[in-house]
Structure 1
Amino acid sequence: MSKKRILFIATEMSPYLELTEFAGMVNRLAVKSNDTGLEVRCIMPRFGVINERRHRLHEVVRLSGINVSVDNDDYPLQIKVASLPNARLQVYFLENEDFFKRKQIFHDENEEWFDDNGLRTIFFCKGALETVKKFGWAPDVVHCSGWMSSLVPAYIKTAYKREPVFGNSKIVFTIAENTFEEKLSPDFIKKALINANIKEKDLDSAKELDNTALYRVGATHADAITFGSEEVNTKLMTEFGKAKGKKIVSFKGLDTDLSEYMDLYESLSL
């Protein structure tokens, strides 16, 4: 019997990028899943602040040649890989000169919000799914965390639902604390729809364009929701804490033994 497969799509993950405490949780979840016999792969952006030499990233030549369509333009996707320290599993980093080479993450050196953070989000979500297609590796469970992964559940349930690699995938989305106060550009949803075979109503829950809205759209299309912080927005806690038709995992602290997640993955991949 083949191993069950779990794919982590994350904005951050220790030790590569630590924006919130949940970065450490993603690391622990990947390692724990691997140790319990699941086949694990992880995908995250390769922001310019991630040190390529220190973390021993190298390009995956066999995955070259992917272009990602964003706002009617095609952007080349370069994929690099590193082995997670002290674990026999691989982390894939999505790189692009226009979106991720800069030495800041979401704000410039003057703490100004990048105008293209919406486009960067679209590129990352589409790029992650195109990478999995290129793998030819069908995940049983896709666990998304971080607001930059928020379009993945919607895309899998709509534009990618007929792709064989995602035909049986169940989606977990983690709602954590809000980490930015700004809004994405007003045309974010319009641009997220371009060349995506997805309807505007599918992204209606993101119309407020803020951090809460991005979590909302991710959770809306997920099969299961986990809470990754005690500081979750009150509206989201009320809205999704007992969402019908979805499996819910409450926040049990950062020192949890992760058994609640392992039970969730097993129940979704039966």
Structure 2
Amino acid sequence: MNVWFVASEAAPLVKTGGLADVAGALPKALGSLGIDVTVVLPKYGAIPASYTVSSVPRGHFRVSLGWRSVYCGLEELTVDGVRFLLIDNETYFKRDQLYGYGDEAERFVFFSMAVLEAMARCDRLPDVLHCHDWQTGLVPFLLRTRYSYLPQFRSIRTVFTIHNLHYQGVFGRELLQDLLGAGDDMFGQDGLEFYGAGSCMKAGIRYADKLTTVSPSYAAEIQSPEYGERLDGLLRQRAGDLTGIVNGIDTSSYDPSGDPHLAAPYSRSSVGKRLNKRPLQQELGLLPDEEVPVIGIVSRLVAQKGLELIGEALPALMAEDVQLAVLGSGDARYERMLLDGAAAYPGRLAVRLRFDEGLARRIYAGADLFLMPSLFEPCGLSQLISLRYGTVPIVRETGGLRDTVQSYNEYTGEGNGFSFGPAAAHDLAYTVRRALSLYRDREAWERIVRNGELSDIGWETSAGLYEELYRELLKG
């Protein structure tokens, strides 16, 4: 079976979030099942030269964007056994950042068309095109409309994965019509139209053969008005084609026994925490004390991640004998809130406003607990990484957090973390206090950590579910 992953980012080449982790790790897991996976992504200027220096040119061609004729180069390289195809256009992709520009519509319409033009020039066509999030939502649409005249494309099946429904790629109707060369017939209720504009996310949901999202709970949630982002009606209509498959992590990459970023790699969490907590406290300016529990937060600092709850609960949290280590960046108001907290609680609350992969891993390794009170969370990877590093997660019961973290039960000894339901600061604070009380019960705590270490957080099970989905799709 030949599968093309089409994504806007993929580890280890280029990453801004969890999408890159999935697009980098899942192909390796599928490869171990005998599936031939190619990852197609833009050739960003942010991709390190250590990767692109080994790329091999595979030709060039022109892509038609409305009245424009745009150059596209195609390059190939292999990393960790995975084949990558890079779509090259320096005007669109040789920039400081991956996203956040005024011409996002033109950039990703070009990318979507370039994927199909590249496919038409390859000796072996994919059996399945697996597209990820709004940046690739137009690929299934274009395959079934603009490129439907090509007989060799008609047997190709498409899967569209929703990683986060909140981000939809909504652009002006006239702009999309111009770039796509699409008529009014493509912007009706059954087309790209979205409240007077056009939605790339809707295109993927409407035109892909099968839909997935990154946890069973999120698959159910997005069919409701509360979480459906005004696409819940369409998602309910396509419920029979929608599957929730929980994400995993690359356990060979996230491995505390061989992680070069740690002060002291470890295989036993009880030993690893002692060896990594004090170096973490010293690095962040926290008071060095191995007996004080450290709560880690590694997150984008945006409303989705529950920053309002953290702000409201902060006085109650800091009334406990606890330290907080926060790493992330995002909205200015949340950054200021956390900096004010660090000033109010010196030596007990440390904040670093940046993305730093090495420090993130040292927080996972050195912290005792990990706080993730998201208002919604399609899957979440941070709680899975924390489990891998023997750090006990505290989460809100939503989406993939509900599916991967089971609150500890003192009577049965089951559970790998702590959770709360209502999005309320007092519920967050109560759950943290409960976790801290059990932290002082060493026997119970070791049981919770051990349960976490035994959790199924790799890709093996989920990759098998994707393989089953592909095979069912091709049979159909």
Which category describes the TM-score, using the shorter chain as reference length? Answer: 0.7 to 0.9
Partner amino acid, structure 2, of 1:146: D
Partner amino acid, structure 2, of 1:247: D
Give distance in 2, aligned partners of 1:27 and 1:202.
33
- CA deviations 1:9-28 (Å, max 9, x no partner) are 11111112222213222223
Kept after mapping to 1: 8 A contact 2:109/2:180: no
Which of the residues 92, 99, 119 maps onto 1:99? 92
- Once the two structures are superposed, the pairs formed by residues 84-163 of structure 1 within 5 Å of their partners are 84-85=79-80, 87=81, 89-107=82-100, 114-163=101-150
1:42 aligns with 2:35: no
- Scaled by the length of structure 1, the TM-score of the pair is 0.82
Partner amino acid, structure 1, of 2:467: M
Give distance in 1, aligned partners of 2:197 and 2:231.
14
Taking structure 1 as reference, are residues 169 and 245 closer, same or farther at Cα in structure 2, changes over 3 Å only?
farther
Which of the residues 246, 249, 252 maps onto 1:252? 246
Which of the residues 212, 220, 225 maps onto 2:206? 220
Taking structure 1 as reference, are residues 182 and 74 closer, same or farther at Cα in structure 2, changes over 3 Å only?
closer
Which of the residues 8, 11, 18 maps onto 1:11? 8
Structure 1 residue 199: Cα displacement: 4.1
- Scaled by the length of structure 2, the TM-score of the pair is 0.49
Give distance in 2, aligned partners of 1:31 and 1:241.
29
Give distance in 2, aligned partners of 1:185 and 1:212.
6
- Unpaired runs of at least 5, structure 2: 249-456
Kept after mapping to 2: 8 A contact 1:49/1:103: yes
Taking structure 1 as reference, are residues 24 and 186 closer, same or farther at Cα in structure 2, changes over 3 Å only?
same
Greater Cα offset, 202-211 or 132-141: 202-211
Greater Cα offset, 117-126 or 257-266: 257-266
Percent sequence identity over aligned pairs: 21
Going by fraction, where is helix more abundant, 1 or 2?
2
- CA deviations 1:65-113 (Å, max 9, x no partner) are 311111311111111222122x2x3101111021111122222xxxxxx
Residue 468 of structure 2 corresponds to 263
Partner amino acid, structure 2, of 1:159: R
Kept after mapping to 2: 8 A contact 1:216/1:236: no
Partner amino acid, structure 1, of 2:65: V
Residue 184 of structure 1 corresponds to 171
Which of the residues 171, 183, 186 maps onto 2:158? 171
Kept after mapping to 1: 8 A contact 2:2/2:128: yes
Residue 420 of structure 2 corresponds to none
Give distance in 2, aligned partners of 1:181 and 1:235.
9
Give distance in 2, aligned partners of 1:261 and 1:5.
13
Residue 65 of structure 1 corresponds to 60
Give distance in 1, aligned partners of 2:43 and 2:10.
11
* SS state at 1:269 partner: helix
Kept after mapping to 2: 8 A contact 1:59/1:78: no
* SS state at 1:65 partner: strand
Give distance in 2, aligned partners of 1:202 and 1:35.
40
Structure 1 residue 32: Cα displacement: 2.2
Taking structure 1 as reference, are residues 242 and 184 closer, same or farther at Cα in structure 2, changes over 3 Å only?
closer
Structure 1 residue 33: Cα displacement: 2.2
Give distance in 2, aligned partners of 1:245 and 1:158.
23
Aligned length: 254
Taking structure 1 as reference, are residues 178 and 46 closer, same or farther at Cα in structure 2, changes over 3 Å only?
farther
Structure 1 residue 45: Cα displacement: 0.9
Greater Cα offset, 42-51 or 176-185: 176-185
Residue 356 of structure 2 corresponds to none
- Unpaired runs of at least 5, structure 1: 108-113
